[in-house]
């Protein structure tokens, strides 16, 4: 339940005049214009964000460059660590404000924002804070003629552009900012046009805790203008992006100008494989959670269920029952278990996929009830009779729609082949009590993360995709090292 005062404060924050945070100063966008922020739970207007464009991006990149080569380069790793830790403390002290803003702007249940998004962001800052003082290189033994002292060092990659989507805007903004700043880079953050609110609040705390000016910059605006200007800007050294595969492809092309380093976390079509020996009750709960959390707007959502024929009916019935009971409603309603999707456009897209699936021959074997009212609600849905050629099976729906399929052969190669029959390769989930099958299947699945019998995200666990799910990894040591360049130094003695 939201505290009424806190909710009023959050609404007041949303409604105030917002600017761009560039070089430690809140600036009017050059365009002088703004765009609307809405509450997906009821479609109401929350406020307006500044519409940053190419000229603002240019200013932000210059500020980030100056800070990179000046004050931030002179800031010792331990001080970078302290600043990140202080930011984590400041967010923790205002945790409920962030959860409320996330729910108001993204629509997710307040409970989820409180239990996952905000704590995850805090832990990500603390985890990466620890890395600031631990990044280093190796000493290398050379075999050529002469006597050498050879070693490697890790240097910050430079100015980073972070472009984030709307499904977990706060957690994702921090997941990019924390390792970038810990590694000694400076950053320009561009949140999605639908959900800039928590990024705006974050920038105020960055200012409060005393990061030097220009280290963290925030440009709100549209992808085609602000986002495109960032990925094309010659002063940007790296782009880290989460979003659609289509825009990811565009970014790769746009980054070619100065060969920006690029990390891409794109879509997914995660298979959930249920073996005949699985703990069925837990598998049902896990499968339902995996597709209905955040109304299915999760890159790693378990959207393709493959269950052995001996347990298939039980699985479908169980997940369908779950869908039927889910309370779908506005994120601020304490009874809500699944919120709206982020926009009317996304709602139309998801409903369009369900219709296309049925048109192509799929059956709706279970469906919950979308709340009535002006919010962007869609019903949690279980489809059966789906074939590998159907669009619902091949494409990322990014909504609460599960395609359930069965297999009869226990051959692990055959199961893995069906699970791997996708352009994506972000995640895979296996439910089994057979240790050997768990290990063998994990090796055969072409996915960046394989989870056996449950589990969630952790800032220490590398996350990213095989195939068209992206390039590179976020989180863990690999995640922070992606914000560094490795330099080899060889000194003749």
- Told to check if 81 binds ligand NDP by CB under 6 A, we report no
| Residue choice 26, 85, 151, 222 for contact with ligand NDP (CB under 6 A) | 222
- How many amino acids of this chain bind ligand NDP (CB under 6 A)? 26
Region of 139-147, 244-252, 316-324, 448-456 interacting with ligand NDP (CB under 6 A): 244-252
| Residue choice 29, 47, 156, 227 for contact with ligand NDP (CB under 6 A) | 227
CA dist., res. 335 & res. 179, Å (int): 36
- Identify the CA nearest to 37 among candidates 53, 3, 13, 56: 13
- Told to check if 243 binds ligand NDP by CB under 6 A, we report yes
User: Binders of ligand NDP among 342-401, rule CB under 6 A?
Assistant: 349, 396, 398
Which one is catalytic: 299, 403, 474, 481?
A: 299
- Told to check if 242 binds ligand NDP by CB under 6 A, we report yes
Per-residue x/- marks for ligand NDP, 145-184, CB under 6 A?
------------------xxxxx-----------------
Cβ atoms of 148 and 142 closer than 8 Å: yes
| Residue choice 61, 162, 177, 247 for contact with ligand NDP (CB under 6 A) | 247
CB of 246 to ligand NDP, least distance (A): 7
Region of 15-23, 181-189, 247-255, 303-311 interacting with ligand NDP (CB under 6 A): 247-255
Query: Looking at beta carbons, which residue is closest to ligand NDP?
Result: 223
CA dist., res. 411 & res. 391, Å (int): 26
CA dist., res. 142 & res. 35, Å (int): 58
**Does residue 265 have an active-site annotation?**
yes
Torsion angle defined by CA atoms of residues 428, 433, 435 and 438, in that order, rounded to the nearest 10 degrees: -10
Which one is catalytic: 53, 123, 193, 265?
A: 265
Per-residue x/- marks for ligand NDP, 254-293, CB under 6 A?
------------xx--------------------------
CA dist., res. 418 & res. 298, Å (int): 22
Residue 299 or 316: which CB sits closer to ligand NDP?
299
Cβ atoms of 401 and 296 closer than 8 Å: yes
Among all chains, which residue has been given the structure tokens 């409320």? 100
CA dist., res. 20 & res. 10, Å (int): 19
CB of 467 to ligand NDP, least distance (A): 13
CB of 463 to ligand NDP, least distance (A): 11
CA dist., res. 189 & res. 198, Å (int): 12
CB of 408 to ligand NDP, least distance (A): 31
Region of 178-186, 243-251, 327-335, 379-387 interacting with ligand NDP (CB under 6 A): 243-251
Cα–Cα separations (whole angstroms), residue 444 to 275, 414, 447:
15, 10, 9
Residue 223 or 425: which CB sits closer to ligand NDP?
223
Residue 84 or 189: which CB sits closer to ligand NDP?
189
CB of 398 to ligand NDP, least distance (A): 4
Record the tokens describing residue 419, joined without a space.
């699970």
Phi, psi at residue 374, to the nearest 5°?
A: -80, -5
- Told to check if 228 binds ligand NDP by CB under 6 A, we report yes
| Residue choice 135, 175, 231, 307 for contact with ligand NDP (CB under 6 A) | 231
CA dist., res. 279 & res. 270, Å (int): 20
**Does residue 299 have an active-site annotation?**
yes
Region of 53-61, 78-86, 236-244, 416-424 interacting with ligand NDP (CB under 6 A): 236-244
Record the tokens describing residue 312, joined without a space.
């298939």
Buried b (16+ CB within 10 A) or exposed e, 289-324: ebbbbbbbbbbbbbbbbbbbeebbeebbebbbebbe
Cβ atoms of 397 and 296 closer than 8 Å: yes
Count other C-beta atoms under 10 Å from residue 368's C-beta: 24
| Residue choice 82, 204, 250, 467 for contact with ligand NDP (CB under 6 A) | 250
The rounded Cα 293 to chain-centroid distance in angstroms is 14
Cβ atoms of 273 and 197 closer than 8 Å: no
The rounded Cα 446 to chain-centroid distance in angstroms is 20
Site residues, ligand NDP (CB under 6 A): 163-167, 190, 192-193, 222-224, 227-228, 231, 242-244, 247, 250-251, 266-267, 299, 349, 396, 398
Active site residues: 265, 299
């Amino acid at each position: 339940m939201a505290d009424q005062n806190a909710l009023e404060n959050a609404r007041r924050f949303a409604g105030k005049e917002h600017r761009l945070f560039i070089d430690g100063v809140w600036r009017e966008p050059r365009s002088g214009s703004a765009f609307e922020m809405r509450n997906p739970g009821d479609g109401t207007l929350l406020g307006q964000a500044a519409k940053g464009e190419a000229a603002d991006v240019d200013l932000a990149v210059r500020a980030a460059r100056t800070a990179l080569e000046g004050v931030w380069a002179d800031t010792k790793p331990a001080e970078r660590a302290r600043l990140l830790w202080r930011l984590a403390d400041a967010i923790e002290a205002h945790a409920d404000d962030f959860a409320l803003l996330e729910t108001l702007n993204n629509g997710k249940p307040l409970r989820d924002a409180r239990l996952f998004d905000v704590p995850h962001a805090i832990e990500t800052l603390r985890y990466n804070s620890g890395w600031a003082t631990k990044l280093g290189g190796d000493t290398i033994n050379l075999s050529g003629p002469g006597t050498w002292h050879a070693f490697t060092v890790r240097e910050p990659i430079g100015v980073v552009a972070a472009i984030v989507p709307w499904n977990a805007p706060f957690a994702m903004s921090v997941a990019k900012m924390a390792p970038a700043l810990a590694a000694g880079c400076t950053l320009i953050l561009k949140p999605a046009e639908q959900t800039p609110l928590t990024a705006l609040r974050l920038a105020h705390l960055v200012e409060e805790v005393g990061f030097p000016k220009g280290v963290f910059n925030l440009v709100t605006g549209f992808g085609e203008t602000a986002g495109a200007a960032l990925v094309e800007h010659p002063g940007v050294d790296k782009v880290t992006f989460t979003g659609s595969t289509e825009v990811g492809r565009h970014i790769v092309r746009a980054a070619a100008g100065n060969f920006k380093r690029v990390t891409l976390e794109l879509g997914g079509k995660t298979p959930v494989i249920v073996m005949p020996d699985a703990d069925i009750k837990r598998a049902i709960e896990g499968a339902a959670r995996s597709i209905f959390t955040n109304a299915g707007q999760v890159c790693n959502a378990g959207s393709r269920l493959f269950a052995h024929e001996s347990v298939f009916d039980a699985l479908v019935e169980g997940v369908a029952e779950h869908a039927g009971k889910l309370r779908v409603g506005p994120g601020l309603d304490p009874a809500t278990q699944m919120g709206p999707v982020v926009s009317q456009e996304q709602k139309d897209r998801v409903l369009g996929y369900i219709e296309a699936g049925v048109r192509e021959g799929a059956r709706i074997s279970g469906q919950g009830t979308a709340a009535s009212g002006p919010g962007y609600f869609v019903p949690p849905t279980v489809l059966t009779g789906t074939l590998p050629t159907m669009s619902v099976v091949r494409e990322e729906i990014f909504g609460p729609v599960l395609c359930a399929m069965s297999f009869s052969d226990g051959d692990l190669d055959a199961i893995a082949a069906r699970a791997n029959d996708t352009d994506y390769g972000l995640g895979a989930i296996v439910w089994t009590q057979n240790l050997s099958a768990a290990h063998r299947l994990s090796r055969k699945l072409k996915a960046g993360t394989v989870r056996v019998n449950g589990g969630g995200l952790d800032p220490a666990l590398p996350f990213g995709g095989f195939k068209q799910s992206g390039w590179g990894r976020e989180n863990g040591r690999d995640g922070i090292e992606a914000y560094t360049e490795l330099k080899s130094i060889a000194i003749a003695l």
